[in-house]
Amino acid sequence: MNNWISSESETTVEQTPSAKMPGGRLEYLHNYHDSYQEEQLVYQHLLHLVQMESPSQMIERFRCLFIERANYPEPEIISILDKITGSKTATEDFKFFLNRCCHILINRWYMQPQSHGAIAELIELFESRSHRIGVGSFRLREIRRLRELVQIFSESDQYVILRRFTQIVNQTPKWDSHKNSQPLMTLIRRYPYLYEHCLISEDATLEQKETIIHFQKQVQKKFEIDLSQYVTYKVRQVNIITKTSPSQVNRILRPINNPTLLSDRELYSTLKQFIGNAEGDCTYQEKAQKFLNHSSQTAKFHSFKDDLYEYLISSVDGQYGKRQFNRRLYSHLQNTLPQADDQNLTDFLIVRTCSHLLNFLVVNSQTDPQHSIFLDLVSNQGTLPTIGLLLKVVLICRKVKPYLEKRFAILFNHYESATNDGIGWFVGTLEQLNIAMSIHFGNIDLSFFKQFC
């Protein structure tokens, strides 16, 4: 196997900032805030125009309306905008309004691949806006107020999500380990398991959510196809090279690019970890199934926690575990829902225990992104055993898979402005997790690779 390693139609959903969508149904908690009617007029205005005008024309309209507040072809829309910016709730609500205006254009352009470049141009308007006000400008108060509100929007979560979206609709740039200036955010397209948590805001419409989920499925499917083709290519390469000279291989096989950011050696180790026997004579899937079979006979919750502890520490390096990790893990589990210890084991208790466990092992919350235990695991064991430990949790309780994805989305948010210098380990972790998730929860079949494990 050393040769394998060393070879090189537009629909609008009217929604206010407080709209919720339980079960796909919109619930408006305060539809009729000060400027609700005016917002609807602007939405309908943009919905009509985006079907009639080119992306460049719409971007110019956006610049005139929201950046300059001048020279807009329909002056009555300027007057409507002034009412919106002058409302009592504008400081809190304008960012949601402007976000929806952006999405009206984006939803249209997303369906037209030739218009994808316009999405980035639209978002860049808010980064290159002018702070000058012409000497002869009228309505200075309205202009200043608009710019204050646009500034708030440009610092909001809604705008951060729009910037991320521009990264997924454009082709993925190749990560250059020698360039320290490349921010992590430019790689978000590579990790579809982060999309729902990094690209959908609290005020997203059903249409926006469907767009992200559709794109997520596309990217995931392409990655699985690309990975399967590359692994097949490398296996065939190994088989052929035993029968002919290395110089003849590329004449027989069409070279295929590695779809990951891992080296061939790192990719081989990752595949071996998640396809082969990770613990003794068991794969992760087999180990999880044995645990589930055993726990189905467990009567009480406290016994389940004891069994879970033993199941997990079998993946932890012995010397590292003895220092303090095993003790901390045991303490965490014992302090999880202790009032339920004598209750019969239920699905609810398993889900709660596993979700709390992922908090402990990865990161607690967006507001408290402290992740010292995760860093300690990676530093002492490496990324593969650490991902394997997390995978073991999800394999015995698949309902917490979105919860694990959310933990990594929090870490991505934490590091997204950081450059390559210092976070190469995290990029590698994201790549390896992408492979592990595809193998265990996707549609890819790499069982033929097991002969090399």
- Check residue 16 and give its pLDDT: 36
> 20-47, pLDDT tens digit by residue?
333 333 333 344 567 899 999 999 999 9
Closest CA to 18 of 26, 10, 8: 26
- Within 10 Å of residue 1's Cβ, how many Cβ atoms? 13
Residues 57, 73: Cα–Cα separation, whole Å? 11
Backbone angles phi, psi at 27, to 5 degrees: -120, 120
- Check residue 6 and give its pLDDT: 43
- Check residue 131 and give its pLDDT: 56
Backbone angles phi, psi at 290, to 5 degrees: -60, -40
Residues 341, 324: Cα–Cα separation, whole Å? 24
Are 430 and 265 in contact by the 8 Å Cβ rule? The answer is no
Closest CA to 186 of 159, 218, 217, 163: 163
Are 103 and 208 in contact by the 8 Å Cβ rule? The answer is yes
Q: Would you call 279 helix, strand, or coil by DSSP?
A: strand
DSSP state of 345: P
Closest CA to 94 of 148, 44, 162: 148
- Partnered with residue 344 across adjacent β-strands are 300
For 78-103, letters b (16+ CB in 10 Å) and e give bebbbbbbebeebeebbbbbbbbbbb
For 399-417, letters b (16+ CB in 10 Å) and e give ebbebbbbbbbbbbbbbbe
Residues 244, 255: Cα–Cα separation, whole Å? 16
Q: Which residues of the chain have pLDDT under 70?
A: 1-33, 129-138, 171-181, 246, 453
- Check residue 153 and give its pLDDT: 96
Cα angle value 68/69/72 (rounded, 5°): 105
* Block residue for tokens 């992922």: 358
What is the separation of C-alpha 127 from the centre of its chain, rounded to a whole number of angstroms?
23
What pTM was estimated for this model as a whole? 0.86
- Within 10 Å of residue 170's Cβ, how many Cβ atoms? 14
Are 320 and 381 in contact by the 8 Å Cβ rule? The answer is yes
- Partnered with residue 282 across adjacent β-strands are 279
